[in-house]
Amino acid sequence: MTQKLDSSKKTGEEILQAIEPKEIADESMRRTIEILLNLIEQLQAEVKELRTENQQLKDENNRLKGEKSQPDIKANKKGDAKNHSSEKERQTPKKHSKGSKNGTIKIDREEILKYPQDKLPADAEFKGYQEVIIQDITLLTDNILFRKEKYYSPSVGKTYLAELPCGYEGEFGPGMKTLVISLYYGGNMTQGKLLEFLEDIGISISAGYLSNLLIKNHVDFESEKTEVYASGLESSPWQHLDQTGARVGGVNYTTNVVCNPLYTIYSTTANKDRLSVVKVLQNGRELELILNQVTYNLLETFQLPAKWKNALKLLPQ
């Protein structure tokens, strides 16, 4: 009974290694045992390989479903006595050195702080200044009442009116427009919080006007994006493209992400078919199809009906 319990605790490889066919007196029996042992070893190797392949398929299936695969834990190496951690080194504090940041701070104004003369002794000598930099920010309204000169010429029958400075189109100045766009896109503030913020500092603006300010009439940004995309496409012989779902006005759209290590562009399209992707890669330009001999060779390969091939030949080449 004790021998059976000890054998049950051993692995299959240990049991096989414990068998010694040479101790079997019968020649035919010894030969049969050797053949069986070789067959068992071969089957064990196949089972091990199949288990590994099965685990890899499970890991890949989990990865496609967004789940975690089995962790790849490396076995400990025997004889590796190198100590990778030292208690003494962990407990010894490292010397902390803090660099000066004053050299990078932009000075907007200087102010001299005077010491009360009536509190100084008679023999006090002036020894210069001790400089202290204080960083602060001011949010104040800058509402301007422009009085535009207006002239009328009876001889010409025309009125002449002075123009607003550049950037002051509409009801709001460039400073407020810049701040709103920065907080919305850079600070991820919602339109509701932006309205509260502007009202707190004294700006009167409606929700509709704020929405139009954020999403409309940005020709400069659109042209800049077009230039960045064109330069990005030329910066590398390859581009990476991925697609993800997006909701536009309650309708399912597709956002195309085109990038390489130098830039990233997002373009939202109604469809995710091949022509939509090609149009995104064309940077919004109108698609042009090339009809030449290579085209007709492909049409022969695809076995397009003759009436369509003849119709294509009538188009400008």
Reported pTM: 0.48
Is residue 7 domain-shared with residue 55, that is, in the same domain? yes
**Domain span at 225:** 219-286
The residue among 62, 85, 104 that closes a domain is: 62
Task: Specify the range with the lowest mean pLDDT, choosing from 26-30, 113-117, 142-146, 272-276.
Answer: 26-30
Establish if 43 belongs to a structural domain: yes
Q: Verify that 275 and 232 share a domain, yes or no.
A: yes
| Confidence at residue 3, expressed as pLDDT on a 0 to 100 scale | 43
C-alpha to C-alpha distance for 239 and 260, rounded to whole angstroms:
6
Identify the band that residue 4 occupies on the pLDDT scale cut at 50, 70 and 90: very low
pLDDT over 90 for what percent of the chain?
Answer: 29
The answer to whether residues 241 and 279 belong to one domain is yes
In this structure, of 90-94, 273-277, 308-312, the range with the lowest mean pLDDT score is 90-94
pLDDT in tens, 44-97: 888 888 988 888 888 888 777 666 666 666 665 555 555 555 555 556 666 766
Calpha distance 259→165 (Å, rounded): 38
Cα(314)–Cα(317) distance, rounded to whole angstroms? Answer: 8
* Mean of the per-residue pLDDT values of the chain: 83
Residues 191, 232: one domain? no
Q: How far is CA 189 from CA 186, 195, 197, 210, in A?
A: 8, 10, 10, 13
Question: Does residue 204 share a domain with residue 231?
Answer: no
Statement to judge: residues 274 and 306 lie in one domain: no
Number of domains in the chain: 4
Instruction: Classify the C-alpha dihedral 192-196-201-204 as positive or negative.
Output: positive
